[in-house]
Amino acid sequence: MEAFPSDKQYHSCRNSQVKITGLVVVQNMKIIGLHCSSKDLHAGQIAIVKHASNLRGCDLYFSRKPCATCLKMIVNAGVNRISYWPADPEISLLNEIGNSTDATLDAKAVERLKSNSRAHVCVLLQPVPCYMQQFVEETSKKSDFLQKICKTDPSFKLDEYFVKYRKNKFREFEQLFLILEPEVHKDILKKIGLENLCEDPFFSNLRQHMNDLIFLLASVNASVPDISDFGFYCRDLQGTENVHEQSISQETARHCMIQARLLSYRTEDHKIGVGAVIWAEGKSGHCDGTGTLYLVGCGYNCYPVGSEYADFPQMDDQQKDREIRKYRYIIHAEQNVFTFRCRDIKEEEKTMFFVTKCPCDECVPLIKAAGIKQIFTGDLDAGKVKDDITYKTFSELQGVRKFIWQNNPFKVSASTHSVSRILTTAEERARDLEAHSGHLARMH
């Protein structure tokens, strides 16, 4: 959420030296809010404005340690747990920024609030499993978006693109989420009351865990191509392509799709993970760094809640007995996002559905019945039949703007226009030369 695309009014805030803070609000293991700090409010304050007494019993995950102003309110709201990314807090303590004395006093106030509160406040230290990075890399390369480029452009070198783009993204996230100098990082940790993390092996492990998580995020980011060459554009799957202006920017659409890709890694399906997230564009509520956008719900494909994974069939081979296939038991990401959404879908507001895979015939009627008018997805499976599931209904869906990840039509048209200009110029020069030659002949 720190990297959530900003509008023009918020642009100046992101260029300031106060760090943007992202926040995830979780209630009963369900994400009910995704927020980032705005020009006027910190992430913790936004949580109070958006959720108020509903924060009781919730778990809050901050991308920066919350300041005293935020912490005293969210603690008073009765939250269960507050976790944060162990870098510099929202009011930065780096020496060259602002008044370090005030920042240090604030950090001490945070520690006092933390030690006296009922809520459990902790550093978010979750090491990435040893196999996770390899799994994410392999599945990212197989993502609907990259595979579509491979099919449409034979010259596209997938491995080369993925490694290069991930490297660039890692550098970008490293600047955003890490304090690059270890000694400066230790000094920050001491000032915010985390002296116990400054000694090895704790400090080395901390840095390694942070690097691993950032590398993981960069890998997921590389699975959705950059919008300069590719993007979400509205087109009729049955015929000609018609480009329409979508309600949100290309950057925001791509960011929301990456959120869906991240969700897909929570899957219980051993073969493929699918993630879905719904955002709506409200008519008010500009306090959040997301502008008028707010989260409606998110989901991923899994078996029913409370069941044992091994109790259900795992097979997906269509050659096997239908009775031992998984399709009748797996709950699709689209189905889960409606089941566990945190807000109602309002007909008068623009609601946008982001899903990493083309919706199947089971899910399309749900999306249509919910009144959602915009679907952002890939379309490699559109119109196909796979085992017990078909994707034909999505292609025939009427009254919905389907935004499909495809080659940038604006770039193509721009290139065509350039070629046209060159040809026109060449023709004009040829006519000029011909006229000039005729003039010289007459003079002769």
Given the residues 174, 308, 334, 434, select the one marked as catalytic: 334
Integer-rounded Cα radius of gyration of the chain: 26
pLDDT in tens, 17-35: 567 899 999 999 899 999 9
Of residues 263 and 438, more confidence is placed in 263
Q: Going by DSSP bridges, is the β-strand pair 81-84/120-123 parallel, antiparallel, or unpaired?
A: parallel
CA distance 40 to 332: 39
Amino acid 272: pLDDT: 83
pLDDT band at 60, cuts 50/70/90?
Answer: very high
Rounded to an integer, the average pLDDT of 66-94 is 82
Q: What is the mean pLDDT of the chain?
A: 81
pLDDT in tens, 216-231: 999 999 999 887 777 8
Rounded to an integer, the average pLDDT of 396-415 is 72
CA distance 367 to 398: 12
CA distance 215 to 337: 27
Cα atoms in the 13 Å half-sphere on the side-chain side of 24: 15
Amino acid 12: pLDDT: 45
Coil/strand/helix, residue 337: helix
pLDDT in tens, 172-198: 999 888 888 999 888 888 877 788 889
pLDDT in tens, 315-368: 666 556 666 677 778 889 999 999 989 999 988 889 999 999 999 998 999 999
Q: Exposed, middle or buried, 176 (CB in 10 Å: 0-12/13-18/19+)?
A: middle
Amino acid 51: pLDDT: 93
Alpha helices, DSSP H, located in 192-249: 202-222
- The terminus-to-terminus CA distance of the chain in angstroms comes to 76
Q: In what order do the strands lie in the sheet with 120-123?
A: 30-36, 22-27, 59-62, 81-84, 120-123
Q: Token match 């493929």: residue?
A: 272
Return the closest-CA partner of residue 140 out of 215, 241, 238, 61.
Answer: 215
Amino acid 245: pLDDT: 57
Beta-ladder partners of 374: 352, 401
Catalytic-residue membership of 334: yes
Q: Are 301 and 334 in contact (CB under 8 A)?
A: no
Amino acid 406: pLDDT: 80
Measuring CA to CA, how many Å separate 284 from each of 43, 47, 335, 341, 372?
A: 18, 16, 28, 20, 19
CA distance 355 to 46: 27
Long-range contacts of 313-317 (CB under 8 A, 24+ apart): 314/270, 316/271, 316/387, 317/387
Q: In what order do the strands lie in the sheet with 230-234?
A: 230-234, 401-407, 374-377, 350-355, 275-281, 293-300
Residue 385 has pLDDT above 50, yes or no: yes
Among 45-59, 76-90, 318-332, the minimum mean pLDDT is found in 318-332
Residue 244 has pLDDT above 70, yes or no: no
pLDDT band at 432, cuts 50/70/90?
Answer: low
Percent of the chain scoring above 70 in pLDDT: 80
Rounded to an integer, the average pLDDT of 74-82 is 93
